[in-house]
Amino acid sequence: MEKKNQEGMKNQEEMKNKKQQQLDAFRVDDTGKEMTTNQGVKVSEDELSLKAGERGPTLLEDFHLREKITHFDHERIPERVVHARGVGAYGEFELYESMQEYTSADFLQDPSKKTPIFVRFSTVVGFRGSPDTVRDVRGMAVKFYTDEGNYDIVGNNIPVFFIQDAIKFPDLVHSIKPEPDTEVPQAAAAHDTFWDFVANNEESAHTVIWAMSPRGVPRSYRMMEGFGVHTFRFVNKEGKGTFIKIHFKPVLGVHSQVWDETQKVAGKNPDFHRVDLYEAIDSGNYPEFEVGVQMLAEEDEFSLDFDILDPTKIWPEEDIPVKIIGKITLNQRVDNFFAEVEQAAFCPANIVPGIDFTNDPLLQGRLFSYLDTQLIRLGGPNFQEIPVNRPLHQPHNNQRDGYHRQAINSSKTAYHNNSINSNTPHTVAPEKGGFKHYQEKIDAHIIRARSDSFKDHYSQTAMFYNSMSDVEKQHIIDGYSFELSKVKSQDIRQQVTNTLGNINEDLMKAVADNIGTKYSDAKPSEYKKTSKALSMENTVKKPDTLKIGVIIGDETSEEELEKLLKVLKDANTMPELISDTLGMPKNFSNEDHKPTHTFASTDPVLLDALYIPKITDLKGKFKLETQRYLMETFTHFKPIMVTESVKSILSSEALEEEGILVSSGNMEDQFVNHISERRYWNRDITKW
C-alpha cells in the first residue's frame, strides 16, 4: 500500500492536467509566511484588540480587529436546498473508443485525449452537517472540463426519479425535509409528510422502491452506480440525433451496508463516506467508474413499452445494452473544502456541442433551476469565475460587472454588434465549433397536461421488485416496514400499504403484517418482465480497499501477524490493528505492528471483516470487547476468521454458520478469498 501511495503521489505531480495547472494559479500556501491583513499590511499583534488603557474600552480604529471579525461574520453561505451534504474530488476521464459516429463532442472523439473532471457525491435530504450513511438517494455530479466548455452530468445513484414534472419538485422536497413545526427528523424520510406524499403521488412508487432497497444505503461512494437519469441526446456532425442514457459503473462493484450498521455508523463516524473517499485517494486506490451509454435510434423512440421521456422509467439493460465508452478516475483531493466543494456549481444545462436535451419535463425544469440556485447561494452572476467552476479556456462575451467580478475586461466595447472592436468577440459557425441546438420539430398546442404514456407507475416498479434476490427483497420489506413504523398516522400507513398492493402481493402482505395495517385489495401489476442487471447479487467482488479489523493482544504472535499483514497488503486491503490500548503489545518488537486503534476508537461497524489471531489471554474487558466485535461482525453477515484459541468465545451454533473460518495456522491466504465474498447472507444471525 505504501509503495502504491508513493507512486500515487508521484503520478499526481506528473499527471497534472490542464485543470490542475489552472487551479495552481489560485492556490495559496500560508506556510512560513508573515501575517498580513487583507489589505496586505503586516500584522504585529493578533491576540489583543486596541484599547484605551489596559482595562479600557476597545477603539473603533482597530482596523485589524474590525476586518477579522467582519470577515468571520460573513463566513457562511446558504447550503444547497437539496444535496447539501457532500464531498468532492478531481480526476480524469479517458475515452476507450471514438464515439464520432454518434456525437461530435470533442472529448468523445479521440481515445488518446484525457479530460479533467471534478465529481461531487452527496446525500439529498440532510443538512450540511448530517451523517453520511442515512437511507437516501445519493447524488453523483460530474463536471467535465472539456476543450469545448464545461459539460455537467448531474446524476444520482438511482436511475429514476420521484416525480415526472419539475413543477412538483418543491412539493417533493418540502415533504421529505424535516417537518416544519419541529424540524424533525434530520436526514430521514421516515416521517408522516414524506409518506403522505408517496401515498398521494403514485408516480413516486418506482424511485421509492429503489430507495428502500440496498441502493439507499451504499457501502461507499466508490461502490455505487451513477446514472444521468434523463434521456439525453447525442448529435453527430451530420446533425443526426441518438437518444442516450448515461451510466457510471464502479470498478469495485456495487455494495451496500445493512440497515442496523448504517444507523450505528451515523453515530460512530458521521463522516464515513467522506473519510472513505479521502482514504482511498490518499492510499493511491483511486476510485474508478466505467462510463457507459445506452443508445436508442431516433426512429425507435416509440418502440418500447414506456415513454423514453418519462424519468420514472429505466431502459432495461438486457434490451438496450450499456456500451462502455470510457472510465473516470478520481486521483486528486481538494485542498480546501469550502473553496472547491462548497462553491462547486453544477448545472444540467451545461452541455457542449454534440450533446443535447430532450423534452423530459423534469429535465426541462432543471435546466433553469440550477443557475437560479447558484445566484443566491454563491451571491451573484459571476460564480463561474470561482476556480472549481472555471472552464479550461477563458470565456469571451459581452457580459459584464455584478458581484465579485474577477475578469478585467480591457476592451471598450461590451455590446454586439460593434465596430470599435471589429465586432468581436465574434460568433462561431457550427462547422467551426459554435453550439447549434438540435432542430427538433415541434407541432403542438400549449397545454398543461401529462401524456397518457406517463401514467403506468407500477409495471417497472414490479419489475424491480421481481428482479431482486431474496436477500434484497427482505431488505426492501424491512426498509418499508422501518420507515412506515415511524409514521404516526395509521391512515397514511394504510394508504401506502394500499399502493404496495399494486406492486406485489407478498411485499404488501409482509409490510402490512409488520406495521399493523390491513391487506390491500389492489390487484398487483401483471408485468412479468425481470432484469438481472437490477440486482446487486452478481456484482463484482474484490478484496481491494476492504477494511480488515485485526484484534491483537499481548499473547499474539508477531510472526503470525506479520504473515497475515503481508497477505492482506498484497491483496490491497486496509488492515486496522485493534487492541485495548495504543501501546505496543508486550512481546512485539516492530513499531509497525503497534495498534492503530483501540476498541473504542474504531468499531466493528466501520470494518468489512474481522480476523482474530492467537490470543490466549482472553479475559475481563478485553474479552468483552472481543465478543462485542465478533457479535456485530456476525450479525452484519461479514467475514470472520478466528484462531483455535479464540474459538471458545463463539457458540458452537454460531461456528456452524457460513462465513466463519477457524484457522489452525497458515490459512492467511484463504482469508483473502473469504473476505472477498464481503457478506454471507445465508448466515442465520439468530444463531449468535
Query: Residues in the site for ligand HDE, rule: CB under 6 A?
Result: 80-83, 86, 120, 122, 139, 141, 154-156, 161, 166, 169, 229, 344, 346, 362, 365-366, 369-370, 373
Place of cell 462547486: 344
Q: Angle 93-95-96 (CA atoms, 0-180°, nearest 5)?
A: 140
Instruction: Report the distance separating Cα 212 and Cα 162, nearest Å.
Output: 13
Report whether 576 contacts 551 (CB < 8 A): no
**What is the grid cell recorded at 340?**
472547491
Minimal distance, residue 407 CB to ligand HDE, in Å: 23
505: phi then psi, degrees, rounded to nearest 5: -65, -40
Q: Which is nearer to ligand HDE, 120 or 135 (CB)?
A: 120
Q: Which is nearer to ligand HDE, 111 or 379 (CB)?
A: 379
Instruction: Report the distance separating Cα 443 and Cα 438, nearest Å.
Output: 15
Q: Which is nearer to ligand HDE, 159 or 354 (CB)?
A: 159
Instruction: Report the distance separating Cα 191 and Cα 106, nearest Å.
Output: 47
Minimal distance, residue 164 CB to ligand HDE, in Å: 10
Closest residue to ligand HDE in the complex (CB) = 139
Q: Which is nearer to ligand HDE, 139 or 253 (CB)?
A: 139
List, in order, residues 6 or more apart from 151 with CB less than 8 Å away. Answer: 105, 107, 143, 144, 350, 351, 352, 355
Of 150, 156, 389, 504, the catalytic one is: 156
Q: Which is nearer to ligand HDE, 168 or 191 (CB)?
A: 168
Minimal distance, residue 169 CB to ligand HDE, in Å: 4
Minimal distance, residue 249 CB to ligand HDE, in Å: 17
Torsion of CA 302, 303, 304, 306, to 10 degrees: 20
Q: Which is nearer to ligand HDE, 369 or 413 (CB)?
A: 369
Side-chain half-sphere of 384: how many Cα atoms within 13 Å? 19
Report whether 331 contacts 92 (CB < 8 A): yes
Q: Residue 633, SS3? A: helix
Angstrom distances, CA of residue 574 to CA of 59, 167, 544, 557, 569: 56, 46, 8, 20, 7
Minimal distance, residue 370 CB to ligand HDE, in Å: 4
Query: Exposed, middle or buried: residue 191 (CB in 10 Å: 0-12, 13-18, 19+)?
Result: buried
**What is the grid cell recorded at 293?**
451509454
Among 530, 596, 486, which Cα is nearest to 316's? 530
Note if 156 is an active site residue.
Answer: yes
Note if 191 is an active site residue.
Answer: no
Place of cell 461531487: 120
**What is the grid cell recorded at 156?**
444520482
Q: Which is nearer to ligand HDE, 83 or 638 (CB)?
A: 83
Q: Which is nearer to ligand HDE, 363 or 484 (CB)?
A: 363
Of 64, 83, 206, 273, the catalytic one is: 83
Question: How many of the other CB atoms lie within 10 Å of CB of 326?
Answer: 20
Report whether 338 contacts 387 (CB < 8 A): no
Q: Which is nearer to ligand HDE, 454 or 681 (CB)?
A: 454
Minimal distance, residue 83 CB to ligand HDE, in Å: 3
Question: How many of the other CB atoms lie within 10 Å of CB of 649?
Answer: 17
Among 522, 530, 594, 531, which Cα is nearest to 561's? 594
Minimal distance, residue 2 CB to ligand HDE, in Å: 33
**What is the grid cell recorded at 374?**
447558484
- H or E element: which one contains 119? strand 114-123
Place of cell 482514504: 279
Minimal distance, residue 366 CB to ligand HDE, in Å: 4
Minimal distance, residue 374 CB to ligand HDE, in Å: 6
Catalytic residue positions, numbered: 83, 156
